[in-house]
A = this chain, B = another copy of it.
Amino acid sequence: MEYQQPASAWDPCATLSTSLTLADLSKASSSFNSAYAGEPATPVLRLIAIAKDKGYKRVCLPLTTKKWEERWSRMCLLPIGGSEKDKEDVAKEAEQWRLSPGFRLDETTITRLDEAEGIIAMISEWLELDSTDDWVRHDAEIALKQELAYASYLNIQTAIVPAPRNRDHVASYARIINACLEKCPYINLSIRLPIYNPSVFQPVLPITSQHIPLPTSLLSPKGNSAPSLVISTSDEAPADSGASVNATWEIWDVIRSMCDYNPRLTLTLDLSPALPTTLGVLSKWAAESVRHIFLPSSTFIANMKGYPVLPKPTQQFIRDSMIHRPMIVLAGVGDGHHSKGGEAAYSQYVRHLEKTSAAVLATKQPGTVENFAQGYQDFLQAPLQPLMDNLPSVTYQTFEQDPVKYAQYEEAMYHAFLDHPPNERLVVCVAGAGRGPLVARCFKALDRSKREASVIVVEKNPNAFVTLQQRQHAEWKNKVTLCFGDMRVIDVPEKADILVSELLGSFGDNELSPECLDGAVRFLKPTGISIPSSYTAHLAPLSSSKLYNEARSTKNEKSLETPYVVMFQAVNILSGTKATADNRCGPQVQECWEFEHPRRDAVLDSRGLPFTNSHNARSAKLRFYIPHAGILHGLAGYFEAVLYGNIGLSIHPQRKDQVSKDMLSWFPLFFPFKEPLYLPSNSELQVSIWRLTNDRQVWYEWHAESFISVPAAVGGSEEELLGSPFSPNFSTMATLSPLIDSKDPMYGDATRRTPHDHNNTEHPRYEMVKIGHTSLHNPCGRSSWIGL
């Protein structure tokens, strides 16, 4: 039954699907004649065969017919007229149904396993799981469970659930979804969500249906008395699309969080509404499990020739999404909305977007990190601990394949050599040489710079030291002196002019380069230099449902207190791209600290070693501006290193391409948070991170607090504000105007104040209000420590 895919060199990322309607089904039914030989056995099978012939991999199908909607509505909604006896009969019928819910034959669209194979079930759209009426919600829940039970019976893997409509009852919607995930342990539920839906945010929603009035007790008196949450308070001004996309996401966030990030819960983003022209706000969807993208033909516009194309923002969004391999659900493509191209034009266009997606192209391009990292996206790895563990040869081999890193090292050495007088004999020490790649580059650089040097090679891995001996024997001869042992302990025969090392981790110092080089700088002459000469650690706040679930799923109770090496894909950096104008908040990615080698300020013992490791402790407190609401799941860690002069290494997302493009050796670090932290739009995140050390260990601890700016309440009464909690904000704010007296409640008397620095302005004062925090992570080096 597997559909034959047209032969193509292209390995598609996205799956194309079509969406059939009840109208399609009834048309197929009426024209169906099973008497023809070779004809599929049922109208539905015929429709599916046709869809697959057209190149669609999957078919979306409603499971229930109009008959079911009619019966459910009759049983569960307010009847018009009718006698008391009729009403009681209906109420009894409904109770019987609630007792044992089930369909009649003509209420379902499919009945056979072969009809259901590969089908995605579209759950009845009229189910109001977030109705304002308690009974409607109650009966919609039963109906949803009934439909999912039927889908499960037919072995259907995925069901798309109609969109929530009512912010005020999203919690009820989410609770029902969670109950369904629990009740149907094999099915995947995908929540259909318009990417931008102003109607969700109307002050009061029209109640589309009301329950029969008999059992009124369920209608809690409190249930509907308060006004709905008003996101846009004015009917005249529609919420801007940015806020609306945030609000759509906020609804998804409630559902996903209340379902505890269930991996069987995904998202069907409905692109029917026009997308906003600025895409910053859309990047948040990258961090969510968008499994399907619903794309009706009405979203397409006609190009000059009349062929269907998508508006620019939608184009861009779909191109960017392709990397996540979504299923694109095309709907209404047979309706002839566009004059040219026919039905095939829509899927051809989507394939065109895929082929021109920069993100997809990068994965196909040999030499890029994206290509190199295939299969490693969002895969958590424990960071290497090369000081504690002796690396195997294959690990060295992998790293030696990096074409950029060693070129940069060679270039750094080349320039360092050039800066030495040509006639001086140099001493170079390669500390932690591994299998010798830096030694080889050193000779290349000496060659290019026409300098002479003796090279001292230090390595503590006894296995790699065999390889070094072999290379000495075969290549380097007496130009190198091999020294076996830990650079923090051993001595070398001669002091060096240049110390070269490659001890850096994804976060710079996380593989204990500072501690190792504290020992190795003993090998340097007083005027000697180190390559690298310095390095810095950088952080950015990150959102990723995927990584959060991955970190949790290791089942180790410390799994959320240890940093991971990971190639990011389904992530979103939450911080604004630039520093705020007042410099209160820094840029998107911020520097934590720096290490320089050699240390100029060292206090050393008689062996030339530091007494304690205190000087390698570090701490940073960073402030990030969060423009769009999101969930903080962790911190992304990066490093930059200065090798020599202006030659460096960088995995800083905004600078890596200038500094060391296509370098493959390091994926970023991910510091997870145990509890996701909600960050509203326009908030501030303060991150504290410490690099801590005692006489045996080095480790990081991290913590975050969130703040939002509100009009200052200074001068307000400290009694509870018994009016609206919100209008008092204004009235107290008003007292801050220099034109109005401010009261000091401490002493109970009104003293006049005229702040000079606020004259001639009516700007209200703002204060930062704390709104949340995480716990302290990895306290006392509980895990992820690295032995010294």
Taken together as a complex, chains A and B put the C-alpha atoms of A753 and B235 apart, in Å, by 12
A239 to chain B, nearest CB (A): 6
- Do B767 and A720 touch across chains, with their CB atoms under 8 A apart? no
Taken together as a complex, chains A and B put the C-alpha atoms of A594 and B625 apart, in Å, by 46
With an 8 A cutoff between CB atoms, is A304 at the interface?
no
With an 8 A cutoff between CB atoms, is A171 at the interface?
yes
8 Å CB contact of A221 from B168, B591, B764: B591
- 1/0 contact string of A584-603 vs chain B (CB within 8 Å): 11100011111110010101
B contact residues around A183 at 8 Å (CB) = 780
With an 8 A cutoff between CB atoms, is A620 at the interface?
yes
- Do B722 and A578 touch across chains, with their CB atoms under 8 A apart? yes
Q: Which of A239, A596, A766 has the most CB of B within 10 A?
A: A766
- Do A215 and B725 touch across chains, with their CB atoms under 8 A apart? no
B contact residues around A577 at 8 Å (CB) = 720
Known A98-B612, A599-B217, A720-B627; judge A584-B622 contact (CB<8 A).
no
- Do A776 and B258 touch across chains, with their CB atoms under 8 A apart? yes
- 1/0 contact string of A759-788 vs chain B (CB within 8 Å): 000011111111111011001100000000
16 residue pairs A–B, Cβ–Cβ below 8 Å? A95-B611, A215-B615, A222-B593, A229-B768, A231-B768, A242-B718, A254-B705, A257-B773, A277-B746, A281-B718, A580-B721, A580-B723, A708-B708, A708-B710, A729-B766, A730-B766
A773 to chain B, nearest CB (A): 6
A130 to chain B, nearest CB (A): 11
With an 8 A cutoff between CB atoms, is A114 at the interface?
no
The residue of chain B having its C-beta at the shortest distance from the C-beta of A90 within the complex is B603
Known A221-B591, A765-B233; judge A601-B214 contact (CB<8 A).
yes
Given contacts A137-B619, A240-B745, A276-B746, 13 further A-B contacts (CB under 8 A): A95-B612, A172-B690, A175-B776, A223-B620, A231-B767, A242-B717, A243-B713, A276-B745, A578-B720, A580-B721, A582-B723, A625-B720, A627-B720
- Do A714 and B234 touch across chains, with their CB atoms under 8 A apart? yes
With an 8 A cutoff between CB atoms, is A230 at the interface?
yes
- Do B722 and A576 touch across chains, with their CB atoms under 8 A apart? yes
Q: Which one of A65-73, A394-402, A426-434, A676-684 is at the B interface?
A: A676-684
With an 8 A cutoff between CB atoms, is A92 at the interface?
yes
- Do B680 and A746 touch across chains, with their CB atoms under 8 A apart? no
- Do A703 and B258 touch across chains, with their CB atoms under 8 A apart? yes
Taken together as a complex, chains A and B put the C-alpha atoms of A390 and B222 apart, in Å, by 36
Taken together as a complex, chains A and B put the C-alpha atoms of A497 and B771 apart, in Å, by 56
8 Å CB contact of A621 from B222, B236, B591: B222
With an 8 A cutoff between CB atoms, is A226 at the interface?
yes
With an 8 A cutoff between CB atoms, is A533 at the interface?
no
Known A99-B611, A223-B619, A753-B237; judge A179-B779 contact (CB<8 A).
yes
The residue of chain B having its C-beta at the shortest distance from the C-beta of A731 within the complex is B763
- Do B175 and A690 touch across chains, with their CB atoms under 8 A apart? yes
Say how many copies of this protein the assembly contains.
Answer: 2
- Do A240 and B680 touch across chains, with their CB atoms under 8 A apart? no
Interfacial residues of chain A within 344-377, with CB under 8 A of chain B in the complex: none
- Do B277 and A745 touch across chains, with their CB atoms under 8 A apart? yes
8 Å CB contact of A773 from B254, B582, B757: B254
With an 8 A cutoff between CB atoms, is A280 at the interface?
yes
Known A95-B603, A236-B753; judge A220-B175 contact (CB<8 A).
no
- Do A220 and B726 touch across chains, with their CB atoms under 8 A apart? no
B contact residues around A625 at 8 Å (CB) = 720-721, 725
B contact residues around A260 at 8 Å (CB) = 775-776, 779
Known A615-B217, A746-B241, A755-B236; judge A769-B592 contact (CB<8 A).
no
Taken together as a complex, chains A and B put the C-alpha atoms of A237 and B751 apart, in Å, by 10
Query: For this complex, into which size category does the number of interface residues on chain A fall?
Result: 35 or more
Interfacial residues of chain A within 38-92, with CB under 8 A of chain B in the complex: 88, 91-92
With an 8 A cutoff between CB atoms, is A278 at the interface?
yes
With an 8 A cutoff between CB atoms, is A583 at the interface?
yes
A230 to chain B, nearest CB (A): 7
B contact residues around A582 at 8 Å (CB) = 723-724, 727
- 1/0 contact string of A680-694 vs chain B (CB within 8 Å): 111110001010000
A26 to chain B, nearest CB (A): 34
Known A618-B218, A625-B725, A779-B175; judge A720-B280 contact (CB<8 A).
yes
- Do B718 and A276 touch across chains, with their CB atoms under 8 A apart? yes
With an 8 A cutoff between CB atoms, is A748 at the interface?
yes
B contact residues around A764 at 8 Å (CB) = 730
A278 to chain B, nearest CB (A): 6
8 Å CB contact of A592 from B92, B220, B706: B220
8 Å CB contact of A619 from B134, B719, B748: B134
Interfacial residues of chain A within 177-219, with CB under 8 A of chain B in the complex: 178-179, 182-183, 214-218
- Do B254 and A88 touch across chains, with their CB atoms under 8 A apart? no
Known A171-B621, A577-B720, A615-B218; judge A227-B584 contact (CB<8 A).
yes
B contact residues around A98 at 8 Å (CB) = 611-612, 614
- Do A238 and B746 touch across chains, with their CB atoms under 8 A apart? yes
8 Å CB contact of A88 from B242, B603, B746: B603
The residue of chain B having its C-beta at the shortest distance from the C-beta of A260 within the complex is B775
- Do A721 and B627 touch across chains, with their CB atoms under 8 A apart? yes
Known A723-B582, A773-B254; judge A714-B601 contact (CB<8 A).
no
A696 to chain B, nearest CB (A): 13
- Do A178 and B780 touch across chains, with their CB atoms under 8 A apart? yes
- Do B725 and A770 touch across chains, with their CB atoms under 8 A apart? no
- Do A178 and B776 touch across chains, with their CB atoms under 8 A apart? yes
With an 8 A cutoff between CB atoms, is A744 at the interface?
yes
- 1/0 contact string of A268-299 vs chain B (CB within 8 Å): 00000000111011000000000000000000
- Do A725 and B629 touch across chains, with their CB atoms under 8 A apart? no
With an 8 A cutoff between CB atoms, is A463 at the interface?
no
Taken together as a complex, chains A and B put the C-alpha atoms of A232 and B714 apart, in Å, by 7
With an 8 A cutoff between CB atoms, is A652 at the interface?
no
- Do A771 and B682 touch across chains, with their CB atoms under 8 A apart? no
- Do A763 and B730 touch across chains, with their CB atoms under 8 A apart? yes
- 1/0 contact string of A92-134 vs chain B (CB within 8 Å): 1001101100000000000000000000000000000000001
